[in-house]
A and B are shown apart, each in its own frame.
Chain A
Amino acid sequence: MKTPLLQNPAVVKIVAPLIVGALLLTIWQVLCIAWKVPIYLVPKPTDIIATLWTDGPGLLRALGVTLKITFLAFFVAAVLGVIAAFLFVQSKLIESSLFPYAILLQVTPVVAIAPLIIIWVKNPTVALVVCATLVALFPIISNTVLGLRSVNPGLLNLFRLNGATRWQTLVRLRIPSALPYFFGGLRISSGLALIGAVVAEFVAGTGGTGAGLAYEILQAGFQINIPRLFAALVLISITGILLFSLMAWLAKISLSHWHESEMS
């Protein structure tokens, strides 16, 4: 019998990782049962799924809080990053004087500055968004700068020869050339925004109705409710994957008609 389905690359792209995942989960399950691993050390996948089912509503509400911070931070990072990139490419002087500080931003661990930001900024949501933004900002800046600079020199000459204004060159040449790089930055930053949000929540440790997933993980850890901890982890991972896919899809629909990276 023929299996044309497995020759379809789109199906393979989805089915193959699912099979690997199912296989790993089965091994995990079997090992847990075989070695009688206690649930407070490593819960079986079935335990985690059960917890996801029973604790679902609470965890999803927490996920909603984390997602809100992630998206806000991601949006702010994208806007600020693009503005900074446009500033940087205006002149070598601006770039040379500001770029080291952008790097400084990148290399400073957010856990180290989060307490400060939480003290300075009264509103906890805003404080968390600021932290996550700091984490997500740099890839957007550096990628967009790279993109705005990596214009085909031949095309640049063509624009000059035809007397293009600075504005025309920017809109018709630099921005389209930068788009693939910008989307690359978005893809990295979406994951970083999520990480930044979770880390900032960890540091803030805010509970109550505004508690995010990080708080749920902390609580579950204190209560040695390991299945719930794993369930929260699973939700974070799935969210990260979905965010990444969303960015990949965005890049695809905007670039697929011309850019090599997005062609099937």
Chain B
Amino acid sequence: MLMKYSEVEPDESTGHLAPDTDTVLFANRVEKTYGNGTRALDEVRLRIQRGDFVSLLGPSGCGKSTLLKMYAGLESPSHGHLRWLGTDAPAKSGLKIAMVFQEATLMPWANVATNVRLPLDLAGVPRAEADARVAKALEPVGLAAFGKAYPRELSGGMQMRASIARALVTEPDVLLMDEPFGALDEFTRNKLDADLRSLWAERLQKLTVVFVTHSIYEAVYLSSRVVMMAARPGRIVADVAIPESVRDDEFRLSDGFAHHCRDLSARLLSASGGDVGH
């Protein structure tokens, strides 16, 4: 059974550009068919407002990474269009977009500080200022003492945190995260989730996060909005708002949390016709 995407908006298929200061990211009837014929996305329509914390939730292969890469400007749609603050390219919008990939993707030949400094170096930020900002970015991820360490000397979780520091060092407006904590143990993951959440809360109404995950619990804990996708072809099947509340360990035990998790599980089950995760 297919659940209709709930958000009702006027069709923008004419594609005319109007500056839109609140809709940070907009995918309008986006389709993606890869060269080998795989239909990764089908008629995806997703409007992400400034300051949203959106989780993309869905089974493997439903096109979450594809959609995220499109928002990053790393892939282009086969049909439909994307908008960044109403413009048709990330660069035109002036948005600072940072992305955390599924793997840490650090440069193995450079130490942590140099890795984190990379976006600043590429942007031509003067060295002294860049170093100060790197130090400031390493602090909250707990790597202040590891600036001189090489990636191979770090644990998987530490590498991931370095890559998060690298994404945050530019003080981005949009943070795209592709299953950043998928490979981590639950303790580390919960801790990093909490840190991420408070970081977002600190920059309230400024930082927009799009977070890909397989975990319903993680999605509910983190998000202001959970967008559920289904595979074959990849499409959006539900868009659920999670009311604002203090997200702490208490929240994980609350009835509200359990309610949302159960609700999403049920929707996921019905959307995939009972067989989740092929």
Q: Tell me the A139-193 residues at the B interface (CB within 8 Å).
A: 152, 154-155, 157-164, 168, 172-173, 176, 179
* Inter-chain contacts of B103 with A (CB < 8 A): 154
Judging by beta carbons under 8 Å apart, are B119 and A162 in contact?
Answer: yes
How many Å from the CB of A56 to the closest CB on chain B?
Answer: 44
* Inter-chain contacts of A154 with B (CB < 8 A): 101, 103, 105
Judging by beta carbons under 8 Å apart, are A161 and B99 in contact?
Answer: yes
- Cα(A162)–Cα(B151), bound, Å: 21
B91 lies within 8 A of chain A by Cβ: yes
B73 lies within 8 A of chain A by Cβ: yes
- Cα(A152)–Cα(B108), bound, Å: 11
Judging by beta carbons under 8 Å apart, are B105 and A163 in contact?
Answer: no
* Inter-chain contacts of A157 with B (CB < 8 A): 69, 72, 74, 99, 101
- Cα(A155)–Cα(B119), bound, Å: 12
Closest to B105 in A: A154
How many Å from the CB of B72 to the closest CB on chain A?
Answer: 6
B30 lies within 8 A of chain A by Cβ: no
Contact of A164 among B73, B97, B122 (CB under 8 A): B122
Judging by beta carbons under 8 Å apart, are B107 and A173 in contact?
Answer: yes
- Cα(A159)–Cα(B101), bound, Å: 13
The total of chain A residues at the interface (CB under 8 A) is 20
A258 lies within 8 A of chain B by Cβ: yes
Judging by beta carbons under 8 Å apart, are B101 and A158 in contact?
Answer: yes
B127 lies within 8 A of chain A by Cβ: no
* Inter-chain contacts of B98 with A (CB < 8 A): 161
Interface digits, B88-114 against A, CB 8 Å rule (1 contact, 0 not)?
A: 000100000111010101011110000
* Inter-chain contacts of B119 with A (CB < 8 A): 162
A13 lies within 8 A of chain B by Cβ: no
B118 lies within 8 A of chain A by Cβ: yes
Judging by beta carbons under 8 Å apart, are B101 and A163 in contact?
Answer: no
How many Å from the CB of A229 to the closest CB on chain B?
Answer: 47
- Cα(A213)–Cα(B29), bound, Å: 74
Closest to A175 in B: B109
* Inter-chain contacts of A158 with B (CB < 8 A): 99, 101, 105, 118
- Cα(A157)–Cα(B101), bound, Å: 9
Judging by beta carbons under 8 Å apart, are A155 and B105 in contact?
Answer: yes
Q: How large is the interface on B (under 10, 10 to 19, 20 to 34, 35 or more residues)?
A: 20 to 34
- Cα(A246)–Cα(B98), bound, Å: 43
Judging by beta carbons under 8 Å apart, are B107 and A176 in contact?
Answer: yes
Contact of B122 among A152, A168, A259 (CB under 8 A): A168
* Inter-chain contacts of A36 with B (CB < 8 A): none
Contact of B72 among A161, A164, A258 (CB under 8 A): A161
Closest to B151 in A: A258
Q: Tell me the B101-147 residues at the A interface (CB within 8 Å).
A: 101, 103, 105, 107-110, 118-119, 121-123
- Cα(A242)–Cα(B108), bound, Å: 30
Closest to A158 in B: B105
B152 lies within 8 A of chain A by Cβ: yes
- Cα(A162)–Cα(B99), bound, Å: 10
- Cα(A232)–Cα(B213), bound, Å: 67
* Inter-chain contacts of A152 with B (CB < 8 A): 105
* Inter-chain contacts of A172 with B (CB < 8 A): 107, 118, 121-122
Judging by beta carbons under 8 Å apart, are B101 and A258 in contact?
Answer: no
Contact of B74 among A160, A173, A259 (CB under 8 A): A160
Contact of A161 among B73, B107, B151, B152 (CB under 8 A): B73
Interface digits, B63-82 against A, CB 8 Å rule (1 contact, 0 not)?
A: 00000010011100000000
How many Å from the CB of A165 to the closest CB on chain B?
Answer: 8
How many Å from the CB of A251 to the closest CB on chain B?
Answer: 13
B150 lies within 8 A of chain A by Cβ: yes
> Can you list 29 A-B contacts (CB < 8 A)?
A152-B105, A157-B69, A157-B74, A158-B118, A159-B122, A160-B74, A161-B72, A161-B73, A162-B122, A162-B123, A162-B170, A163-B122, A163-B123, A164-B122, A172-B107, A172-B118, A172-B121, A172-B122, A173-B107, A176-B107, A176-B109, A179-B109, A258-B109, A258-B110, A258-B150, A258-B151, A258-B152, A259-B108, A259-B109
Given contacts A154-B103, A172-B122, A259-B109, 13 further A-B contacts (CB under 8 A): A155-B107, A157-B101, A161-B98, A162-B119, A163-B91, A168-B122, A172-B107, A172-B118, A257-B150, A258-B108, A258-B110, A258-B150, A258-B152
